[in-house]
Amino acid sequence: MFRQFLSNSILEDTLRITTHGRALSGVALVASSALVLAGCAAAPEETETGSGEALDYLPCMVSDSGGFDDKSFNQLGYEGIESAAAELGVEFLAVESTSDADYAPNIESLIAEGCDLIVTVGFNLSAATVEFALANPDVSFAIVDDAADNDFDGTIDAPNIKPILFDTAGAAFLAGYAAASYSTTGVVGMYGGMNFPTVSIFLDGTTQGVEYYNSEKGADVTVRGWDIESQDGTFIGTFAPGTDSRAAAQNLIDQGADVLLPAGGPIFQSAVEAIRDSGKDIAMIGVDADLTETETAAADLFLTSILKQIGVAVNDVVIDASGGSLDTTPYVGTLENGGVGIAPFHDFESKVDPDLEAELVAVKDGIISGDIAVTSYLN
């Protein structure tokens, strides 16, 4: 398999480019964005319909500014559309955003290419997704991590958008319980990219897990970087790694945290740097993907990760929509349906309390049954 990123200077040359056999006009794409060409060395054969005709279906995707190599939600979304296209035997298009200014032009460029379904990855794209969905009722849309309800009236703002949501509070609760169990300093630190519900849900759930551990064990593990009552805490204002993320991680390390949760795509990369430089024994909790597997250079740092099965959900939505109609009922991943969960302890298997895994199974069962209450913006 291969993945190629084209710079804006090349895109503006009006060269004709082929992706899975489909010709694209480079001039249709915008400044600061990159078209991702992805697939196998040879284009897959198109799936035939019951009439023997090839399936005429073009699914497409627009990333958030983290890019498709963020080892997080953008990458998981990309892998989902990639696997669905391979299963259907069709081509797909994916456009990468590098800033907020790219969202609307990138969606517009895919509409011009004749996309049947456009999946936008991340709540930052909500306003642009709704705008273009309303203006293009014949195009189906799906959005990851957003309800497409920008007027907060409890309904989707356009009839042709399917929200793909994840109630990660339950999974984060499990991670918080594990973090409290593992911590020797009694301090769990956390920070986020921006204070949006799909970010704060990680912090809320983890905090509730720490609090539950304290109540069950008579412990006094504290949370730094997030106040669940005021719904405010440490946010760096971006989902990009860099000095702000590193400074936030260092501040929590200085406060004694020996477990860190950076919630916001690739911002964890800067936390890794801070931990390495500190020389201290500090564990991390990843978000979205199993970062022990996707970020192998830092595999030794991840106690666990809070998982969202974004790739599976996107795959299913893309395949379902290929039939010609889109069920816009929101998908909500939960502990019960397997849409969220936590990763194995991997390298920490021998370092955690021997009873921890059994306790987490009991806690998970209690959350699913409703015996253990977990609150989030989705319930």
* pLDDT score at 13: 30
For residues 163 and 141, give the distance between their C-alpha atoms in angstroms, rounded to a whole number.
9
Is-contact 174 309, C-beta < 8 A? no
Given a cut of 70, is residue 52 above it in pLDDT? no
- Structural domain count of the chain: 2
* Shared-domain flag, residues 24 and 153: yes
For a pLDDT cut of 90, what percent of the chain falls above it? Answer: 77
| pLDDT at site 179 | 98
pTM of the predicted model as reported, rounded to 2 decimal places: 0.80
Q: Which has more pLDDT, 15 or 81?
A: 81
| 340 belongs to a structural domain | no
239-294 residue pLDDT tens: 889 999 999 999 999 999 999 999 988 899 999 999 999 999 999 999 998 999 98
Q: 154 and 218 in one domain?
A: no
Residue 324 pLDDT grade (very low, low, confident, very high; cuts 50, 70, 90): confident
Tell me which residue has tokens 């078209």: 35
In the numeric block, which tokens belong to residue 225?
């970087």
What is the DSSP secondary structure assignment for residue 54, as one 8-state letter? Answer: B
pLDDT in tens, 279-309: 999 999 999 989 999 888 999 999 999 999 9
Same domain, 215 and 353: yes
pLDDT confidence of residue 265? 83
For 141-154, write each residue's pLDDT tens digit. Answer: 999 999 999 998 98
| 152 shares a domain with 9 | yes
Q: Which structural domain range is residue 153 located in?
A: 2-166+311-333
Same domain, 104 and 185: no
Phi, psi of 118 (to 5 degrees): -120, 115
Helix, strand, or coil (residue 94): strand
CATH number at residue 50: 3.40.50.2300
Residue 376 lies in a domain: no
378 assigned to some structural domain? no
Residues 198 and 317 in one domain: no
Q: What is the pLDDT of residue 73?
A: 84
At 219-233, the pLDDT tens digits run: 999 999 999 999 999
Is position 343 within any domain?
A: no
Best CA proximity match to 165, nearest among 188, 182, 142: 142
Distance, in Å, from the CA atom of 123 to the CA atom of 104, rounded to the nearest integer, reads: 13
Same domain membership, residue 284 and residue 178: yes
| Residue 75 within a domain | yes
Cβ-contact 64, 2 below 8 angstroms: no
pLDDT single digits (tens) 1-34: 323 232 232 233 322 222 433 323 332 333 334 4
Co-location of 104 and 8 in the same domain: yes
Distance, first Cα to last Cα, the chain: 40
When mean pLDDT is compared over 63-72, 149-158, 200-209, the highest value belongs to 200-209
Q: Are residues 33 and 94 in the same domain?
A: yes
DSSP string, 226-254: EETTTTEE-B-S-SS-SHHHHHHHHHHHH
Q: Is 228 part of a structural domain of the chain?
A: yes
176 and 161, same domain (yes or no): no
User: Would strands 22-25 and 16-19 be described as parallel, antiparallel, or unpaired?
Assistant: antiparallel
For residues 197-214, average pLDDT: 96
In-domain check, residue 342:
no
Check whether residue 302 and residue 262 sit in a common domain: yes
Does some domain include residue 56?
yes
Given a contact cutoff of 8 angstroms between Cβ atoms, the answer to whether 309 and 77 are in contact is no
Instruction: Assess whether 274 and 155 both reside in one domain.
Output: no
